[in-house]
Amino acid sequence: MKYYQLDKNNPPETVGGPSATSAEPLEDQAAAHIRLRALKTVDRELYHSVKEELLDMFREPLGVLLSTPFGLTRRYISDVLVVGAGKERRNVLEWLEGNGSNFPGKLFGYSEEETHIHVVHDCPYSNRSCRCRWRNHPGIRNALKKPIRRPKYLRQFTWVDWIYIIIYFYVSKRSGQKKIWIDGRVRGLPDRSQSIRWSSLCSRAQNILERKGVFNYTQSTEPNHEGQPAVSGRVRRSTKKGSRFEELCSHTQFLLAKYLCIPLTDLRKIILPSNADHSLKNCMIR
């Protein structure tokens, strides 16, 4: 497989990045800028054009990930660490850096944001839990947020799943430390010309989606981490007036599809009052 060499000496202007205060999974943040599954639904021709350009821009890291034999049982885990500033954070970042260089798996990355740190890795997930060494730090154990999705088998990953991870680490806006190891090597950043291409690509896709009536909700639902067909929470639903009961049924069905909650009755537990979906169109979840 032929790869393009990335220029590590010319880091790009960071473009198209989400808010540094968001604690959403990093894949969701990347999906908010180029909604590939929604694009495939509304304009297949543009979707294939965007796909070809992304494959060309990120050929080297994507090629490595797609060709890496992760095995049948390893899973992808995306964690958020809520870590304070100062010495506590510096200690955690130093620990993550040390673990990344000798991580026994094929994928490990971390990214520092204003209020938290994202960590992704491939995991054996034995006995339905992560026992990887990098978690054996008191500052990490106490800072881990409860994940909103079950870990997905890496054998289920498509190019779309991988590209969102790559987009986040390569071209999203970040002022803190950020590093990703793929197949045991630190991968560099794309050059400035690729960043310009990325910005243009986002604009093209966004313009089409807006013309087709696709708009943003607060949270992204692009990445599908349960191996189920993707249901986009960003595609405009019917504005036809119905009864209050019909509206409640419609909103409930939408939320169940968006959050893939099991059991269904736990939906009211996982959507916090601070979440915009908790009072979607003033329909409170009770």
Residue 153 and residue 158: Cα distance in Å, rounded? 11
pLDDT by residue for the chain (286 residues), tens only, comes to 333 333 334 333 333 343 334 567 788 788 887 888 888 888 889 899 999 999 998 888 999 999 988 989 999 999 999 998 889 999 999 999 999 989 999 999 999 988 899 999 999 998 889 999 999 998 898 899 988 788 999 999 999 999 999 988 888 766 688 899 998 888 876 566 667 788 888 888 888 888 877 655 434 444 444 334 333 443 443 344 445 555 566 567 666 655 555 566 656 666 666 666 666 544 444 4
**pTM to 2 decimals?**
0.66
